[in-house]
């Protein structure tokens, strides 16, 4: 016993004598030993060609003149391919799942099986339709975007983007790799949040997760394009309408990037001040991407994974959407009650009750916001000849018909502009919220990531509405 105590005392004394530099010494000697062994047993057969080629590529893609243009060109190509390429398959899937299968299922359950109307409504018009909608709008863009992005990543180019962009992100207190998670967010915010794993510094990773929602995701592009065409394009002479409305959408997307940097900056100075911050960025050697493996893993790991989560959240939301349109209290549906109660408040923000309700019940996916808005508007304004009944989401092929419905619902240019802003600045969809919770393991950060954009959205819409009214 006495010996043991002596030993412990001696050990403690030695600990004080060795001091704090032990870790440095241990690593140093490990490296020394390793390089010793390596120099004895590894022969270098002049494999410098690879290095030279890498160095040449790096010289170009990180150069002052070409670095940024090359990056913008590649990313723009990826987005363009995604948006253009997904139109046809999206329409195809929608024609099968929504236009053909939906009436068939409704007839089958309602007439062949003889189920009551409300059962058919909840199951087919609610749950099934929401799921069908999410799949047809979400699947094609993700199936195009993720493989393309993963190919760039595999080739080794994306770390160079982080390298080029780091200066801007450093000034915002963030990591250059946030440029990548942000780009990923333009595909899908849930995937962008998962992608933040590549950032190993705790503070910067949280920043990337919390601000990812400001990247305009695939589900919001169609909303932006539609509303911009109807309300902004209409302000310009016809031959400029296309360019002006596209410009407005790009402006909203750039605004999102601006907000992302601004919020990163203010969060890193305030609530996230106490988190550890480190920086390291490895630039791996270039290599030809493994095409089929990339295709397979990005489809399975990213596309189907995200889609599955979205479907899980869409099904109950579909039920809720249908129920709000069909449960009646005193002869008026819950949805109309809410819309009537919310309208006087929404007016302060240049929005309306329909929009607010749509953003609450369509929380699982931004893709179903417009169908929900159309359904609610038709219901609230009692336009009889369009739509498929209370609680059944729909979309119209013709922009002018959509415009007619919205105008009948009392929409003005201000409503259009504020909807575009609110579509950028509101809480993330429930799939993303759940993913944020999974990734951070913290209710606090999930709440911050959910509430801050929503508050910002209301504040910005409020001031835009007031200035609009003041100046018009």
Partner 1 sequence: MDNPLLLIFAGVVLFIITPYLIFSDKGIFNKYRKSKKLQDKEFIENALKFVYDCEYRGAACTINSLAGNLRITTDHCVIIVTELLRLNLIYKIDDRIVLTPEGRTYALRIIRIHRLWEKYLADKTGINEKEWHYQAEIQEHILSENEADELSAILGNPLYDPHGDPIPLRDGEIPPKKGIPLTRLVDGDFAEIVHIEDEPDTIYAQLTALDLHPGMKLRIIDSNTQKIVFECEGDEKILSPIFCANISVVKIEHAQLQVKEYVPLSTLEEGELAKISGISKSIRGLQRRRLLDLGFVHGSEIIKEFSSPNGDPVAFRIKNSLIALRKEQSDKIFIERV
On whether the CB atoms of residues 391 and 321 are closer than 8 A, the answer is: yes
Least distance to partner 1, CB of residue 409, Å: 20
When the beta carbons of 58 and 395 are compared against partner 1, the nearer one is: 58
Least distance to partner 1, CB of residue 257, Å: 17
On whether the CB atoms of residues 454 and 426 are closer than 8 A, the answer is: yes
Chain mean position to CA 45: 47
E strand or H helix at 162, and its extent?
helix 158-171
On whether the CB atoms of residues 396 and 374 are closer than 8 A, the answer is: yes
When the beta carbons of 84 and 200 are compared against partner 1, the nearer one is: 200
Indicate the SS3 state at residue 17: helix
Supply φ then ψ for residue 7, to 5 degrees: -60, -45
- Six-digit token string for 313: 């959240």
When the beta carbons of 12 and 87 are compared against partner 1, the nearer one is: 12
Q: Kindly compute the dihedral angle of the four CA atoms of residues 141, 146, 148, 151, in this order, to the nearest 10 degrees.
A: -170
On whether the CB atoms of residues 445 and 210 are closer than 8 A, the answer is: yes
CA-wise closest residue to 305 among 438, 202, 213, 428? 438
Binding residues for partner 1, rule: CB under 8 A, are 12-13, 15-16, 19-21, 23-24, 27-28, 31-32, 55, 58-59, 62-64, 67-68, 163-164, 166-167, 170, 176, 200-201, 203, 273-285, 348, 459, 462-463, 466-467, 469-470
On whether the CB atoms of residues 353 and 153 are closer than 8 A, the answer is: no
As a whole number of angstroms, the longest Cα–Cα distance in the chain is 96
On whether the CB atoms of residues 461 and 349 are closer than 8 A, the answer is: yes
Least distance to partner 1, CB of residue 369, Å: 25
When the beta carbons of 438 and 469 are compared against partner 1, the nearer one is: 469
When the beta carbons of 28 and 401 are compared against partner 1, the nearer one is: 28
Least distance to partner 1, CB of residue 61, Å: 10
Q: How far apart are CA 67 and CA 61, in angstroms?
A: 5
E strand or H helix at 471, and its extent?
helix 443-471
When the beta carbons of 52 and 398 are compared against partner 1, the nearer one is: 52
When the beta carbons of 165 and 319 are compared against partner 1, the nearer one is: 165
Q: Is 389 exposed, middle or buried (0-12, 13-18, 19+ CB in 10 A)?
A: middle
Least distance to partner 1, CB of residue 182, Å: 17
When the beta carbons of 164 and 423 are compared against partner 1, the nearer one is: 164
Least distance to partner 1, CB of residue 363, Å: 24
When the beta carbons of 23 and 382 are compared against partner 1, the nearer one is: 23
Q: How far apart are CA 425 and CA 162, in angstroms?
A: 25
Least distance to partner 1, CB of residue 4, Å: 15
Least distance to partner 1, CB of residue 253, Å: 22
Least distance to partner 1, CB of residue 101, Å: 47
């Amino acid at each position: 016993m006495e010996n043991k105590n002596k030993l412990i005392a001696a050990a403690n004394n030695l600990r004080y004598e060795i001091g704090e530099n032990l870790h440095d010494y241990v690593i140093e000697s490990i490296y020394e030993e390793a390089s010793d062994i390596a120099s004895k047993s590894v022969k270098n057969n002049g494999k410098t060609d690879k290095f030279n080629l890498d160095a040449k590529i790096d010289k170009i893609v990180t150069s002052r003149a070409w670095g940024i243009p090359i990056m913008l060109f590649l990313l723009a190509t990826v987005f363009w391919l995604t948006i253009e390429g997904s139109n046809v398959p999206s329409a195809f899937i929608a024609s099968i799942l929504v236009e053909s299968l939906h009436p068939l299922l409704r007839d089958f359950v309602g007439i062949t099986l003889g189920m009551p109307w409300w059962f058919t409504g909840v199951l087919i018009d609610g749950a099934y339709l929401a799921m069908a909608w999410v799949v047809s709008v979400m699947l094609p863009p993700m199936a195009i975007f993720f493989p393309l992005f993963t190919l760039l990543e595999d080739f080794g180019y994306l770390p160079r983007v982080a390298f080029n962009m780091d200066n801007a992100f450093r000034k915002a207190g963030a990591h250059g790799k946030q440029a990548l998670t942000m780009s990923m967010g333009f595909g899908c915010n849930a995937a962008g949040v998962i992608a933040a794993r590549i950032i190993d510094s705790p503070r910067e990773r949280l920043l990337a997760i919390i601000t990812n929602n400001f990247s305009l995701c695939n589900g919001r592009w169609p909303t932006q394009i539609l509303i911009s065409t109807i309300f902004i394009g209409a302000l310009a002479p016809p031959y400029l309408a296309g360019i002006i409305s596209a410009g407005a959408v790009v402006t909203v997307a750039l605004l999102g990037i601006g907000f992302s940097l601004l919020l990163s900056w203010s969060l890193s100075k305030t609530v996230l001040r106490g988190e550890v911050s480190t920086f390291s960025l490895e630039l791996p050697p270039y290599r030809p991407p493994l095409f089929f493996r990339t295709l397979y893993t990005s489809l399975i790991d990213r596309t189907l994974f995200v889609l599955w989560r979205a479907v899980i959240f869409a099904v109950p939301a579909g039920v809720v959407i249908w129920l709000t349109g069909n449960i009646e209290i005193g002869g008026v549906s819950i949805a109309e009650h809410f819309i009537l109660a919310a309208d006087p408040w929404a007016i302060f923000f240049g929005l309306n009750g329909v929009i607010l309700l749509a953003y609450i019940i369509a929380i699982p996916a931004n893709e179903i916001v417009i169908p929900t808005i159309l359904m609610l508007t038709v219901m609230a304004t009692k336009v009889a000849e369009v739509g498929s009944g209370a609680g059944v989401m729909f979309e119209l092929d013709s922009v002018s018909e959509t415009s007619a419905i919205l105008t009948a619902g009392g929409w003005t240019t201000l409503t259009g502009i504020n909807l575009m802003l609110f579509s950028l600045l509101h809480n993330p969809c429930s799939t993303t919220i759940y993913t944020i919770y999974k990734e951070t393991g913290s209710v606090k950060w999930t709440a911050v990531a959910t509430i801050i954009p929503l508050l910002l959205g209301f504040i910005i819409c409020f001031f835009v509405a007031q200035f609009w009214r003041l100046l018009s």
